[in-house]
Amino acid sequence: GAINETSESNNATPSATPMLITQPPPSDLQVTLVNATSSGRVGSSVTVNWTAANRGTTPARGAWADAVYLSTDAVITKADIYLGGNSNSNLAAGASFNWGDPMLTIPAGTVPGDYYIGILVDRTNAVREVAETNNYVSSPLAVGNIDLVIPSGSPTVSPVEVHPGDSVQVSA
């Protein structure tokens, strides 16, 4: 509510000594180790484990997210194909953590070829850091097609004649 005062002119008096507000030095989150599957198939799972560290001189405070991406080049950015991620918070200067997510799937529709699987720490730049350009590491990943094999016998297809969009049954 409102406060009744006899004089509104005395409510703001500056201090004779200015107040200096400084920020502590920034932290520096980096991926220091990545172990990833070197090949996989469209629709199959790949395994990725990584270690991230705060190489800065002050703690990384607050919450941030790391992510695993599939990329056509070795530079990992948020524009690449997101495969999964995790949440983190408060990491002391010089400290590290290990993380892994064994259930990352190469998306259906991925064109087979040579890719990179990469980790991007602090993917939304939530933590004040010395450098944001050292937040990723990538590893080569060869992506192939699903290999359908008929184990034995001569395959039969039913129906013999199909039109686009029709279903068929293959048996051996």
> Does residue 1 carry a pLDDT above 60?
no
Question: Both tokens of residue 141?
Answer: 């990943």
- The mean pLDDT value for 111-129 works out to 95
- The CA–CA distances, whole Å, from 18 to 2, 15, 21, 148 equal 30, 6, 10, 74
Reply yes or no on whether the pLDDT at 172 is more than 80: no
Over residues 45-87, the pLDDT tens digits come to: 999 999 999 999 999 999 999 999 999 999 999 999 999 999 9
**Where do we find the tokens 């070197």?**
38
Q: Is the pLDDT assigned to residue 151 strictly greater than 80?
A: no
- Predicted TM-score (pTM) of the model is 0.74
CB 86 within 8 A of CB 66: yes
